[in-house]
Amino acid sequence: MTLPTTSDRSGVAALLPAMQAPSPTLLALDSFSVVFPGANGPVPVVRGIDLSLAPGEALGIVGESGCGKSVTWLAALRLLGRGVVTSGEVRLAGEDITRLPERALSRIRGGRIGLIFQDPTSSLNPVQRIGTQLMEVLRLHRGLRGDAAQREALRLLDRVGIADAPRRLRQYPHEFSGGMNQRVMIALALAGEPELLIADEPTTALDATIQAQILDLIRDIRRESGMGLVLISHDIGVVADLCDRVAVMYAGRIVETAATQDLLGRPRHPYTRGLLAALPTLDGPRRRLTPIAGTVPAPDRMPPGCAFAPRCSLAIDECRGETPPLLLAAQDQRAACLRLAETAAAPAAQAPASLGAFA
């Protein structure tokens, strides 16, 4: 992707000087919380998230279902409907977008922030041609019409690796395979020339060889455009593949965040260590898996203190009393755990035998 030339908005341009600044931030979440309405009163689903993303950075969000990894980002972009209450700030290049009126926010969604979801086929309009859907985004976010829009739509389809673009533009989503539809979704996201792409389980519904194609495409586009990426996935492998940094979520909070290599090499939060030990691998000796006992707590039945304590073999009484903040565990690595001293020993992922304490 090239920087906008025909664009009528100043977002990217305004950002460029900021990129040279000492600690630029593309997007920051500050004490961001999300509360759902429930039959027995409000249910906190996301409980105070602090995160920041530098321009061009790729951040992976991992966690099991129900941990709030998708809800955080949907709520940040106000896509969850009226009953949902959020608090805290979401700052895009310094501006708190939670205060923006709907009109202004809708220009950011699909414009400066692109979104793709797990199931591409249901994200597309089944009764509109691919070309119509692409050109709608180009008109709304870039002000392109007629031939200019058509040319740009062709270029975008070509960019995402869809051959025979002129014919494809006239087709409907049902005439495409799942992998092709995900390419179309990526083209739609790119149409707004986003500074940030939020990809929520973008390859989960796809077959292995198609997943490899899509990951490769996202990597390529990022290399070209310098677009930031938030990749939400339950698959640590997928995240490790694309992301510079990873945040692990559990029960509505971030429990650990670090550079990808550090997180995999020496995870410090017992939950992260547990997740890695529970994964079967393709390489190395075949060993019995070490599952995490129990299940994720329901949001309306959150245990007091650290939400992971009931499943954690390192938990002590203090863990049940207070919610641990994200503490500095090593350089550029934070973990929300009172027992960090106990997890400073041998790297868990590479030496599963040393994980006896987790059994």
Partner 1 sequence: MTPLLRVDDLARHYPVATASGQKRLLHAVDGISFSLAAGKTLGLVGESGCGKSTTARLVLGLLPATRGHMAFAGKEVSATRDRQWRALRRRMQLVHQDPLAALDRRLPVGEQIVEPLVIHRLEAGAEARRQKALELFEAVGLRPDLFERYPHELSGGQRQRVVLARALILGPELLVCDEPISALDVSVAAQVINLLQDLQARFGMAYLFISHDLKVVRQIADEVAVMYLGRIVEQGPPEALFHAPAHPYTEALVSAVPTLQRGTAERIILRGDPPNPVERPAGCAFHPRCPRAVARCREEAPVLRPTGDGRLAACHLVPVASDANAAAA
Q: Which residues bind partner 1 (CB under 8 A)?
A: 64-65, 177, 179-180, 207-213, 215-216, 219, 234-238, 240-241, 264, 274-276, 278-284, 286, 288-293, 295-296, 349
**87 to each of 27, 96, 148, 251, 259, how far by Cα in Å?**
16, 12, 41, 17, 27
Residue 82 vs 288, nearer CB to partner 1 = 288
CB of 69 vs partner 1, minimal distance in Å: 12
Strands in the chain per DSSP E: 27-36, 43-53, 58-62, 85-92, 95-96, 113-116, 196-200, 228-233, 245-250, 253-259, 327-330, 333-335
Closest approach, Cβ 208 to partner 1, in A, equals 4
- Positions of E strands within 163-311: 196-200, 228-233, 245-250, 253-259
Nearer to partner 1 among residue 153 and residue 238 (C-beta): 238
Smaller CB separation from partner 1, 24 or 237: 237
Taking the complex as a whole, how short is the minimal distance between the CB of residue 276 and partner 1, in angstroms? 8
Least distance (Å) between residue 67 CB and partner 1:
9
Closer by beta carbon to partner 1, 25 or else 313: 313
Q: Which is nearer to partner 1, 21 or 282 (CB)?
A: 282
Q: How far is the CB of 62 from partner 1 (least distance, A)?
A: 9
User: In 3D, which of 48, 1, 55, 51 has the Cα closest to residue 23?
Assistant: 55
DSSP 3-state assignment of 137? helix
Q: Which residues of 74-92 are buried (b: 16+ CB within 10 A; e: fewer)?
A: bbbbbebeeebebebbbbb
Q: Phi, psi (5° rounding) for residue 278? A: -85, -10
Q: Quote the DSSP letter at residue 265.
A: H
| CB of 262 vs partner 1, minimal distance in Å | 12
Cα gap 332→169, rounded to integer Å: 46
Q: Of the two residues 195 and 262, which places its CB atom closer to partner 1 in the complex?
A: 262
For partner 1, the closer of residues 146 and 280 by Cβ is 280
CB of 31 to partner 1, least distance (A): 27
Using CA atoms, how far apart are residues 182 and 228, in angstroms rounded to an integer? 19
Nearest partner of 306 among 295, 294, 315, 296, judged by Cα: 315
- Beta bridge partners of residue 127, listed in sequence order: none
Give min distance, CB of 275 to partner 1, in A: 6
Name which of 150 and 204 has its Cβ closer to partner 1: 204
